[in-house]
Structure 1
């Protein structure tokens, strides 16, 4: 097994040694300006932080990641009960490692080449260099036999680098995005180096079993290790066995209870009523919530909705589509092109179908706090999740959790990880515009009893399989304990 070498570090034994370490591209905090005008750190919202914070608090944990500002060095600090270790990135690192290799090479490649990936050796060199920096930061603070959980595609080389430096630690890796079929992954010039990097982990987690299978197939084709079931028997270049790395599906979820509590909040319920009134009280509110990303199928759903208006199967006033498209990677050319396309579609459809009292599409190019998003979920009679490829899609799960009255309808792309679990959604192929149009009409016209039946089953799954359950099952599997995963409802 070939890997990038890191100088072996002595296990930390002082006060800065941690038994459980999370490694991610970003720290779980945002810097805000406090009431006194001084900067303060606030915990970022998000299920990953919610799931892992208690584990860190109970196991003397630390989180290693970039703090979000380039060309700035920040000393390690504590926030709440978490110890945070910032890894500095320069503006050039952000451009080449993050915007370049991570998001213009790996992201499109792993999402079925919806747009062409770019392959630049300088980007790869910087990706390798930054991954080494993360691995060294972890190596310096890990206690003997610590558990290290590396997160996502930006850090795929870290497991092998860390194993080289600290063979005593237990290493997990979780890939939050899809892993592509061999025929696509094989296009990557550095494919073997990526696989070797991931195989440094004792457990490599994926959203879907198909992703784990894709990974194992690439291992068989490109690395020659013996694969038995989910276990890869890793050997070095001389053929000497070194360790076993397992590949398993561990679908991520959401902080279900938080969404339920917000949906029951009088303030959020009142806000939901205001939103519906501001939309002109249409019979049916359809909702799309996405980052403005070419993988999300935003243009496909807008085109389908526009054609339904053209065909007379829906009408303005009867139905309104609210599309939240939060800003994303706006310095990357493909994202700028997508924004122009989406805004052009919205403008044309509204120009042809708006009335003085009603708008066909409310397009919101903003990010919103979770309280506002839950209010929007509660307003939505139908949510359209039409991703062309998505590792999981947590919006679908958040919508299900928010439907306390159980009458909302989920239209869900079959190319999302969530489709494996939310099987009672109306599942669609978003490339099939006619099929998508029929699914939207089916959702709008679905009898209330049928909508409640479907939503009740999906909510039962979301309640039993939340983000805490996800982290527990992954970490128990990493430690080779027996786990009992809840049966599919």
Structure 2
């Protein structure tokens, strides 16, 4: 029996986080992520439901509840499923595989079985919540089987899927023992969205090679389903530009930015890296380039200082534990060699920070270093641009990020594996004339401001409405509502 909601979002996590209050009671607080920012307005207008994991391990989940104007439908994950579905197949198999095998993926049948089982649970919950002819938008690599499972249960639905991380070339994807099942799962959607055109092309090629399906101009034809077509296309995600721009202009945030520079000894140049502590982010490459600049005498510790924020991530996974150790050893070596009593070469912060502190860090930094080895988008680059209402600062950006497709014209592009080239780019950023830096930043801000996260959501939903059968006009109405909120 159909449910009550014309728009259902299915994501690994709910849009709210559980908060333990001082009196022992529990409340729910809006999550800070970009996806929540993008979809919250349209979810409220369409009386939408959001299916996701509440974040805790256990065989039981809270009953569905309303929070921040959105119906939240929690999905339970047992401790074993957190280990095998989430830490295992999602982040031990798919994450490294989709990021060009920077570390070796693990292929374990028990992980795959847990992934199938949990995807079934998400699909079933979405099918129960969705009204007749509703739009269901499935998010990211943890749930790639859900579109097909959902279509089998509810062929009346309009189904979209968006992959927030890269989709690898077929020569890499082909390693996956369950590649055909993943392709079939994604092809349950009417529209499959990716960050970059190259990712959409990789997916289409995988459909041809793994499943022998005709795929031309981003359209995959399923003759076994009456010639139904699935469209694959790029929809680069963005940020809430207006909100971050306004935040960075607050007097308390500007005062905090000035205070940060004073606390760091008022360096002539402040370089900044902000990343999740992940092997895909190129943190060690960035540190090596900075260390060699100091070793070579091309940069002096009294002239430039690097702040590296590394947000804790997946701390139970072996590769992440080793990465943290490697980063801390490298920082210690750099500081032991180059720091003085008055000046510290690298300030390493293994913490997460709130929006105000992040905006202040962006404002304080003269150079933003984004040196990811592979990244679906990298919103930090766009956040830095949105924060620079003063039209100052230089963005050094890896060509292996999705953001490079949009910002590459005005950022200083680098191959992070090329340490000499990375050093030259950092030095160029430090020496860039203010007039050139201002011209580049103005162009970057126009691009990010014109293509914000609301526009991303609206463009995807509009494309889904145009491509999928629309028995009641629901998807078209949802897209129009999203456009109005942009």
Fold equivalence (TM over 0.5): yes
What SS does the corresponding residue of 1:69 show, helix, strand or coil? Answer: strand
Distance 2:217 2:417 in 1: 34
C-alpha distance in 2 between matches for 1:317 and 1:378: 20
Structure richer in helix, relative to its length? 2
The corresponding residue for 1:120 is 108
| Match in the other structure for 1:29 | 16
- Output the CA distance in 1 between the equivalents of 2:269 and 2:214: 55
CA distance in 1, matches of 2:214, 2:104: 32
State which of 69, 81, 106 in structure 1 corresponds to 2:56.
69
1:105 aligns with 2:93: yes
Which residue in the other structure is 1:81 paired with?
A: 69
The answer to whether residue 329 in structure 2 is matched with residue 338 in structure 1 is no
Q: 1:453 aligns with which of 439, 452, 471?
A: 439
- 1:364 is the counterpart of 2:349: yes
In 2, the alpha carbon distance for the partners of 1:278 and 1:157 equals 50
Distance 1:382 1:127 in 2: 41
Residue 182 of structure 1 contacts residue 218 of structure 1 at CA under 8 Å; is this kept in 2?
yes
Kindly report which structure 2 residues correspond to 1:230-241, keeping only aligned pairs within 5 A, or say none.
Answer: 230-236=218-224, 240-241=225-226
Residue by residue over 1:201-260, the C-alpha shift from the partner in whole angstroms, topping out at 9 and shown as x without a partner, is 000000000000000001111112222311111133xxx525211000000000111110
SS at match of 1:225: coil
Residues 1:276 and 2:261 are matched in the alignment: yes
Which stretch of the first structure deviates more once superposed, 251-260 or 218-227? 218-227
Q: Which residue of 1 aligns with 2:312?
A: 327
Tell me what 1:404 maps to. Answer: 389
2:182 aligned residue: 194
1:197-212 matches, within 5 Å, as 197-212=185-200
Aligned residue-pair number: 469
User: Normalising by the residue count of structure 1, what TM-score does the alignment of the two structures yield?
Assistant: 0.94
Partner of 2:272: helix, strand, or coil? strand
CA contact under 8 A between 2:205 and 2:215: conserved in structure 1? no
Q: Deviations over 1:305-359 (max 9, x none)?
A: 0010000111112100000000000111111111111111000000001101110
State the shift of 1:130 in Å.
0.3
Is the 8 Å Cα contact of residues 263 and 402 (structure 1) preserved in structure 2?
Answer: yes
Measured in 1, the distance between the counterparts of 2:156 and 2:466 equals 16
1:386 — aligned with what? 371
Gapped runs of 5+ residues in structure 2? 468-475, 481-486
Are 1:11 and 2:2 counterparts? yes
Q: Distance in 1 between matches of 2:349 and 2:216?
A: 49
CA–CA distance in structure 2, aligned partners of residues 39 and 121 of structure 1: 37
Q: Which region of structure 1 is more displaced relative to structure 2, 374-383 or 224-233? A: 224-233
The reply on whether 1:216 has 2:182 as its aligned counterpart is no
- The question of 1:443 aligning with 2:434 is answered no
SS at match of 1:75: coil
* Separation in 1, partners of 2:156, 2:226: 17
Equivalent residue for 2:39?
52
Gaps of 5+ in 1: 1-9, 485-489
Alpha-carbon distance in structure 2 between the residues aligned to 1:23 and 1:124? 20
Query: Residues of 1 paired with 2:330 and 2:21: CA distance?
Result: 41
Q: Do the aligned residues in 2 keep the contact of 1:280 with 1:317 (CA within 8 Å)?
A: no
* Partner deviation per Cα, 1:26-73 (whole Å, 9 max, x = no partner): 001111133544211000112211110111111120000000010142
Q: Which residue of 2 aligns with 1:249?
A: 234
Question: What secondary structure, in the 3-state scheme, does the structure 1 residue paired with 2:407 have?
Answer: coil
Alignment match, 1:158? 146
Secondary structure at the aligned position of 2:76 is classed as coil
Structure 2 CA distance, aligned partners of 1:164 and 1:288? 45
Q: Distance in 2 between matches of 1:258 and 1:47?
A: 11
Contact 1:233 1:241 (C-alpha < 8 Å) held by counterparts? no
Query: Aligned partners of 2:268 and 2:15: how far apart in 1?
Result: 40
1:372-425 residue CA offsets vs partner (Å, 9 max, x unmatched) = 000000000001000000000000000001111111000000000000000210
Q: How far, CA to CA, are the matches of 1:421 and 1:315 in structure 2?
A: 33
In 2: Cα distance, 1:67 partner to 1:458 partner: 36
1:281-300 equivalence runs, <5 A = 281-300=266-285
Distance 1:243 1:166 in 2: 16
Aligned to 1:7: none
